[in-house]
């Protein structure tokens, strides 16, 4: 087992995991996105390797806040391969990310999880997350 920073070479495997999250067709832009994440000190993308195979990833962003002493760590995308779930991998990734957030002086971690992802919600509740409504979104350039 190893948690490491992702590289552009992980694009295909991460695209397969994004397919499992119902985000198809990412292969065309994913290498460029991974390169951008790697170049930004406030963004991160980690993968979990088991027997030299990537079986999970987590992408995240650290947000500097001006109204609170601590900053915010946000999980953007997180997936454990369907064949490897319920084996403690997600828990290990969340623990690792929590350590990073503490090192960055964050006082909270946020994650948006669609209402249809009930299994993910159970996971996050077990990890100590609580619901915090309300999340508002404005879609820019609808239909593109």
pLDDT (0 to 100) of residue 70: 92
Q: How is the chain split into domains, by residue range?
A: 2-126
Q: What's the pTM?
A: 0.88
pLDDT (0 to 100) of residue 7: 96
Confidence check: pLDDT of 144 > 70: no
Rounded CA separation 48/141 (Å): 34
Q: Residues 12-37: what's their mean pLDDT?
A: 96
Please provide the average confidence, as pLDDT, over all residues in the chain: 92
pLDDT (0 to 100) of residue 138: 82
Choosing among 3.40.50.300, 3.40.630.30, 3.40.190.10, 1.10.3080.10, the CATH entry for 2-126 is 3.40.630.30
pLDDT above 70: percentage of residues in the chain: 98
Rounded CA separation 72/43 (Å): 12
Q: pLDDT tens digits, residue range 81-113?
A: 999 999 999 999 999 999 999 999 999 999 988
Edge-to-edge strands, sheet with 71-80: 2-5, 43-50, 53-63, 71-80, 106-111
């Amino acid at each position: 087992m190893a948690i490491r920073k992702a590289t552009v070479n992980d694009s295909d495997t991460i695209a397969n995991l994004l397919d499992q999250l119902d985000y198809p067709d990412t292969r065309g832009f994913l290498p460029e996105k991974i390169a951008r994440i790697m170049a930004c000190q406030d963004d991160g993308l980690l993968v979990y390797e088991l027997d030299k195979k990537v079986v999970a990833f987590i992408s995240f962003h650290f947000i500097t806040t001006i109204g609170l002493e601590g900053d915010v760590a946000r999980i953007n995308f997180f997936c454990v391969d369907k064949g490897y779930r319920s084996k403690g991998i997600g828990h290990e990734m969340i623990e690792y990310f929590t350590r990073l957030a503490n090192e960055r002086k964050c006082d909270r971690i946020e994650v948006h999880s669609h209402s249809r992802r009930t299994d993910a919600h159970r996971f996050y509740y077990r990890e100590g997350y609580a619901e915090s409504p309300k999340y508002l979104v404005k879609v820019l350039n609808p239909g593109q």
